[in-house]
Amino acid sequence: MLFKQQALLRQKLFVLGSLAIGSLLYLVARVGSLDRLQPLCPIDSRFGPRGQDEIPLRALQFKRGLLHEFRKGNATKEQIRLHNLVQQLPKAIIIGVRKGGTRALLEMLNLHPAVVKASQEIHFFDNDENYAKGIEWYRKKMPFSYPHQITIEKSPAYFITEEVPERIYKMNSSIKLLIIVREPTTRAISDYTQVLEGKERKNKTYYKFEKLAIDPNTCEVNTKYKAVRTSIYTKHLERWLKYFPIEQFHIVDGDRLITEPLPELQLVEKFLNLPPRISQYNLYFNATRGFYCLRFNIVFNKCLAGSKGRIHPEVDTSVITKLRKFFHPFNQKFYQITGRTFKWP
């Protein structure tokens, strides 16, 4: 009898404990979401005087909840007016480079409460059909944000498309431009790997990387191969410099963003005149994925898509050596132009 009473008591205590924990988690989630939905005090009162170009922080902005409804088109005009939300043209664009880490950079910058990201690649400036729809069409593709937040979009094709620099210049000649790069040979192989995976999903065959990267007639590097051409960073950058001064560009080290993201993100915060808000708390290493994941608050975490970090096929070492030798003079010129040196072989 005593044994049954003790068992019943333990069962009741377990139920009460579960209810208490559940209530606590609900309150934490509720407070976290409210913090992100309600603008707090302006940054002036917490950080002292700021530069003329520095953007006031609106605390934890609409990144989920109500803003999610706005993105889906479920919000009324009255709701938008009440929350003082607008769709703004981007004040900064990640223009490239493909397979350099553009998605990772965008998602990590979105940790900052003064940044709002365009979730999809808009392809406005590199697509003639989209560009013909006009700047208002482009603006309406942007997410809702507070007036003092900055919107960022990314379309890696911008960097290598000839018409894009002039088109962006016509929209905003003072826009800030982010370029994330990786070691050129590694980037080219990653580019190939993504295309190869797409072919395999469709049960199609594809040439080996070596056959595409090396011209079989001359045995030299094949500059007609797009993956090789994209990695000649200086050639593309020189075209952009006809319209924008180098001060409007910030070069992000994509290799370092993988292994040591925080210092790279802090440099971007400074470039964008943002108060430092991204900390080590927001980044934690996921050993299973082999990448850093993002922590927005105690409730909400996010890892990049599983397609990131694909395993590269083995490539003949002589081809890798030839490519690195080919890229070397272009890399040296890239260092000189940007003022940033990388430890590329």
Give yes or no for residue 37 having a pLDDT over 50: no
List C-alpha distances in Å: 181 to 16, 228, 317, 334: 54, 14, 22, 11
Instruction: Tell whether 239 is in a known binding site.
Output: no
Q: What share of the chain has pLDDT > 90, as a percent? A: 64
Q: What share of the chain has pLDDT > 70, as a percent? A: 75
Query: pTM score, two decimals?
Result: 0.79
User: Looking at residue 282, what is its pLDDT?
Assistant: 94
Looking at residues 227-249, what average pLDDT do you find?
98
User: Looking at residue 38, what is its pLDDT?
Assistant: 35
Instruction: Tell whether 309 is in a known binding site.
Output: yes
Query: Would you tell me which CATH number, out of the four given (3.30.70.20, 3.90.1150.10, 3.30.420.40, 3.40.50.300), belongs to the domain 64-183+230-308?
Result: 3.40.50.300
Which tokens sit at 237?
């950058």
What φ, ψ does residue 171 adopt, rounded to 5°?
A: -75, -45
336 pLDDT band, cuts 50/70/90, is very high
User: Looking at residue 18, what is its pLDDT?
Assistant: 53
CA atoms of 37 and 84, how far apart (whole Å): 12
CA atoms of 223 and 68, how far apart (whole Å): 44
Looking at residues 103-116, what average pLDDT do you find?
96
CB atoms closer than 10 angstroms to residue 72: 8
Instruction: Tell whether 187 is in a known binding site.
Output: no
Grouping H, G, I as helix, E, B as strand and the rest as coil, residue 96 is: strand
Which tokens sit at 341?
């040196």
Which tokens sit at 220?
């030299």
User: Looking at residue 27, what is its pLDDT?
Assistant: 42
CA atoms of 154 and 63, how far apart (whole Å): 18
29 pLDDT band, cuts 50/70/90, is very low
Instruction: Tell whether 36 is in a known binding site.
Output: no
Bigger pLDDT: 297 vs 251: 251
Instruction: Tell whether 146 is in a known binding site.
Output: no
Looking at residues 164-180, what average pLDDT do you find?
98
Instruction: Tell whether 339 is in a known binding site.
Output: no
What φ, ψ does residue 180 adopt, rounded to 5°?
A: -110, 125
Specify the pairing of strand 283-286 against strand 86-87. Answer: unpaired
CA atoms of 291 and 286, how far apart (whole Å): 6
User: Looking at residue 59, what is its pLDDT?
Assistant: 40
Instruction: Tell whether 101 is in a known binding site.
Output: yes
20 pLDDT band, cuts 50/70/90, is low
Query: Which residues are known catalytic residues?
Result: 99
Bigger pLDDT: 188 vs 79: 188
299 pLDDT band, cuts 50/70/90, is confident
- The residue extents of the domains of the chain are 64-183+230-308
**String of DSSP letters for 302-332:** E---TTTTPPPPP--HHHHHHHHHHHHHHHH
Q: How many helices, marked H, and strands, marked E, lie in the chain?
A: 15, 10
Longest dimension (CA), the chain: 92
240 pLDDT band, cuts 50/70/90, is very high
**To 10 degrees, what angle do helices 317-338 and 184-201 make?**
120
Looking at residues 162-178, what average pLDDT do you find?
98
Segment 266-294, tens digit of pLDDT: 999 999 999 999 999 999 888 887 789 99
Least confident range of 60-74, 153-167, 233-247: 60-74
User: Looking at residue 224, what is its pLDDT?
Assistant: 96
Segment 186-211, tens digit of pLDDT: 999 999 999 999 988 888 889 999 99
User: Looking at residue 46, what is its pLDDT?
Assistant: 31
Cite the beta strand spans of the chain per DSSP E: 86-87, 92-96, 115-117, 144-145, 150-154, 176-181, 249-253, 283-286, 291-295, 301-302
Instruction: Tell whether 185 is in a known binding site.
Output: no
User: Looking at residue 14, what is its pLDDT?
Assistant: 54
Looking at residues 97-109, what average pLDDT do you find?
96
**pLDDT, the chain, mean:** 83
Instruction: Tell whether 99 is in a known binding site.
Output: yes
User: Looking at residue 205, what is its pLDDT?
Assistant: 84
CA atoms of 144 and 6, how far apart (whole Å): 57
Least confident range of 46-55, 87-96, 101-110, 241-250: 46-55
